Amino acid sequence: MRIAVTGSIATDHLMTFPGRFAEQLLADRLDRVSLSFLADSLDVRRGGVAANIAFGLGVLGLHPLLVGAVGADFEPYRVWLKDHGVDTDAVHVSATRHTARFVCTTDREQNQIATFYAGAMTEAREIDLREVVTRHGRPDLVLVSPDDPEAMLRHTANCRTLGIPFASDPSQQLARLTRAEVRELIDGALRLFTNEYESALLCERAGLTEEQVLDRVGSWVTTHGETGVRIRAVDRAPLTVPAVEVAEVVDPTGVGDAFRAGFLAGTAWGVPERYAAQLGCAVAATVLDHTGTQEYRLSRDALLDRLRTAYGPASRTELSSYLRGMR
């Protein structure tokens, strides 16, 4: 199964603040916030939602097609992704803008304050999936993840025109989208991805109840942090999968992207959703052990042991044959 992943490609600038953000916020002054946090460390890492997900798919042995816009500074990053199984030939390179930047500060309780500079990502709206399909072949699934909002809407419309199944992951862009745009992005999606907070925000932005959202999508996959993931669909009982426990959270950045990579890999292989979600949770737990979104390494034996410990021998047995192609 070939998956095309559309969305942001960025460089992450990750900092840590040893205190608590909450201690610096004054309840009666939230309308005039002016704060500066002295960070203890800075890590510059490769990132971007689409690139993170594509990287995870590549490491798991798939060969995803990455679709997004970058600057001329992307070349070293391109080599990195290609070395990890990602097809970058459909990436648009801007002649004038730098690759997008994500700047994030994490406090000692793993709360985060972040800023995203779009840069070349604004040119993603110029990408036509019809041309991508002509040049690079027809994917079996397109994931529309956070990107330039016009690009997200264009990709979704093109998927409908081309008859290609798509998954919707609006997440960080929900705050920028109108009611009509949110509905446009989710209508007819094979899968909808959100975290717990985004699920409530999506309903509010779309002006829909959860039941009405479910009527518009094939299934709704919601991550709930340390408690795991819930998958819902019309006319069937919700499926709940607990998270994989980790001894210590090093950095939560990119954990949702890692889950999506594992889950999408499992569904691409045709395993039941329960096992796909378990794989997603296991990959996410691995990311939590590292600083940065693409600094982790997946060992087949270690991953299978993690699955067996968290979910029992059936999970290991179900997934072991599919993980032989891991890079």
Q: Which residues are catalytic?
A: 257
* Token pair in block for residue 4: 């095309």
Instruction: Give 100's strand partners.
Output: 10
Hunting for tokens 């460089």 — which residue is that?
11
User: Of 150, 190, 133, 172, whose CA–CA distance to 47 is shortest?
Assistant: 172
Contacts of residue 147, Cβ cutoff 8 Å, sequence gap at least 6 = 6, 7, 8, 49, 50, 68, 121, 124, 155, 173
At 284 the three-state DSSP class reads helix
User: Of 103, 115, 106, 104, whose CA–CA distance to 18 is shortest?
Assistant: 106
DSSP assignment letter at 45: E
DSSP assignment letter at 71: -
How would you classify the pairing of strands 100-106 and 229-232? unpaired
* Token pair in block for residue 264: 């999408």
Compute CA distances 94 → 75, 119, 122, whole Å. 12, 9, 10
Residue count of the chain? 327
Distance between CA 71 and CA 53 in Å, rounded?
Answer: 20
